A = this chain, B = another copy of it.
Amino acid sequence: MSLLVIGTLAFDDVETPYAKRDDALGGSATFFAVSSSFFGPVRLVGVVGQDFPDAILARLRDRSICTEGVEIAEGKTFRWGGRYEADWNTRHTLKTELNVFEHFDPKVPSDYCGSDFVFLANAAPAVQMKALAQCTKPRLVMADTMNLWIDIARDELVELLGKVDGLVLNDEEARMLSGERHLISAARKVLEMGPKFVVLKKGEHGAFLISEDAHYAIPAYPVDEVVDPTGAGDSFAGGFMGYLAAAQDTSAATLKRAMLYGTVTASFCVEGFSIDRLEACDRGAIERRFNEFHSIVSL
């Protein structure tokens, strides 16, 4: 089945208590695409500046990521800079230079319009809806969002929620969006806004899936050493949807297995800067860690 992601390609300047990396390839669509590419081809829609090396797009294409939908616009590529505290959960954003992403007008190439699985990575809900409107017969649409949009574009976000099947969000966002403190109540309230399922990400504390007919909670994979948490959420979404698209199924049982695959790709993501560790993996590495994680969470 065909999988499409609309989101950012970026350069990140990342600081952790242990190391620092400038000009790291990042962006929601990048992490999603690389993580989902283990399961099959993926189509990428985004925008980069003229400073974006062709060689990177070629590297992505080598992983069966179709970059036909990556527009090269006049100006510079989106750049994000942040610093993590030693607990990994506290992140300080040091810079957000939208650059070419500021006026991103997603254009889904005509041969992508019929994609079955669509991931709308974090962006203004109006932009996400513009992208979605170009998809003619999606079988499953999942969206990400962030506190900024809950705050300043709530109406558009609520409109978007009526059009998607799944939403991924972290605990803080779930509380903000629903007005409920308790996470499960918060997720239930979000379900009432339209999505058929909600994936609550709790970082190093695991993830929770809630839908009408499934409640599923998993811890995080116990990685040996976190190097850089940037991209973990999008890598989770990539593994999750990559598996769904490959399985060609959206039943509760398949969504649950997809949670494990999402955890696995996210765990590889955080073991390196940028997509370093993910790029060094193959499907075999994913399956070995899936089996290990499956045994860790199984009675």
Contacts and interface: CB of A to CB of B under 8 A. Distances in A.
A219 B222 contact: no
A257 interface: yes
A223 B219 CA distance: 16
Nearest to A294: B299
A17 to B, nearest CB: 11
Interface residues of A, number: 27
B182 A224 contact: yes
A59 interface: no
Interface in A280-299: 294-299
A222 B210 CA distance: 12
B206 A205 contact: yes
A256 to B, nearest CB: 5
B299 A217 contact: no
Given A182-B224, A218-B297, 8 more contacts: A184-B222, A202-B205, A205-B205, A205-B219, A208-B222, A217-B219, A257-B299, A298-B299
Q: Which 8 A-B pairs have the closest CB atoms?
A: A205-B205, A217-B219, A184-B222, A215-B296, A217-B296, A256-B299, A206-B219, A219-B219
